[in-house]
Structure 1
Amino acid sequence: MQYYNQDTYIFLDGEFVKANEAGTDFFGQALHYGYGAFEGLRAYSTHNGVRLFKAEAHFDRLRTSCEAINLPFPWSTRELIEQTYELLAKNNMRAAYIRPLVFSGSNMHLTSAANSSIVIAAWEWGPFLGQNLLKVCLSDIRRPHPKSFQIDAKISGQYINAIRATSDAIRKGFDEALMLDQDGFVAQASSENLFIEKDYKLYTPPMENVFPGITRQTVMDICKGLNFEVVEKRLTVEDVYTADSAFLCGTAAGIIGIKQIDETTYPEDWEHTIGSSIQRTYKKLVLEQENYEVII
């Protein structure tokens, strides 16, 4: 996939520059050690114009991620939101995926960064995992231990495990991987949160062992508004295998149903599941087709 061309702008340290003219610091800690933090948010073309969905929550989380690893963050959320809208206008984009990245500068020592830079890029991108029901497998690669890594922050270096898990899944003929936590419970997919349905209730792993997804919280808010019960509990492999249905959620992927886990196909027709109802509601929410202030 081509993410930019000679006419594409990015926002880099206060200026809009051509993507193909931006340089890279080959002595940067971000490049050598993964010392950076990032976010992913989406812009949608609505009847009210271009709208960033939950932009404030995303940029606030970017700040929190940087603070977790002592990466300087001198920018305000309001400033970054305004620059993102301007970036979309300069690139003539109405619907796009947006990637802000904060990265450290030149430093070969294993010490905290004294300064940092920010880049914001945008490109047109459909649902990350497509629109068809997914074939998912359990991965042998586990989530980082919460005592060894800041798992509630979106840190660049953390995603090596996610890349390995997804790549292994695709080589085996699956679309995505589910990863276990340090105790052998099912935590989440490589970059999406997991919900399973059993006996007309939804279950999802608790916050302490999964990434606190903004879309995950949106799903829970939707469930509250639609009177669907959600239980946060640690999920065993058997729980996942014996569910009636399941789905993944994330900013890049949206809400997407799971057809099967390993060789087990879920019995419930997706169109009749709670997940399908949430998927439809979420789509209307991000496109501002109905007023859902009561649930967000």
Structure 2
Amino acid sequence: MKQRIVSAVLGLFVLGFVLFFYETVVFNLAVTLLIVLAIYELFKAAKLTQYKELFALCLAFSILMPFMQMKHLSNQLALICGTYAFLMFLVLLRYHSTLHVEQIGLAFFFALMIPFSFSTLLFIHNRYEMSVSILYLLITLGGAWLTDTGAYFVGCKFGKHKLAPNISPKKTIEGAIGGIICNIVCYFVLAILYTSVAKSMFGTVIQINYIALGCLAPLASLAGILGDLSASVIKRQCGIKDFGSIMPGHGGVMDRFDSVLFVAPTVFMYIQYVELFKIVR
């Protein structure tokens, strides 16, 4: 537990550093670094790093994807994706005796899912004013980590009924419910506190849509739980306990951000149709 707390504090320090340089290239680099580390951990777990050309190709495509929204790249989207698919088949032909088409499909999936999910953080960053986009970022990360924290403590205290015993034996239904309730409460507290800080720091008055926020909270929690269970399935099938050891007590980037990978797209799609926060001019 002590190791987990120390790692969590260091993680929050890094997050604070990134937020301090939120309007600079530092944020873009931080997201790109997460993509690179997550891709490496998944490829290593699936024993695909031994195919160097495949790994390099998927890594290059993954790094490029967050920048696809740039005009000169978005106009070449079909060409880039077509070339990527063509080169994947060339790799399959080169290693046809040891590399199976299922592994190519898995590599393609990893290289598509990871950068797309993390890139939604950049989409939010670019589409909204800084004061609101930071709040959306905190809501996104909170949806994953607050749910996980609430589920952990409630599950340890009251957990009796297993949620998915064959996938993650320690997770309970009581813990999941506790995590959802924790996230709902923390969403409101976070939004209220942040709007007060934003008014004093940025001179920005942010209006909260409490009903929309209350509806998003359980959706984000469920997405986070689904992401956590999905990562557990991958680890179980790959025969590993953790994806990495970059964060002592937490594991690797995928161990800490598996929930975020599902919550980020959920929040992004939700706010395309529902306005959670409005700047009052």
TM range (shorter): under 0.3
Determine which structure has the larger helix proportion and give its number. Answer: 2
Determine which structure has the larger strand proportion and give its number. Answer: 1
Q: Which has the higher contact order (CA 8 A, sep 6+)?
A: 2
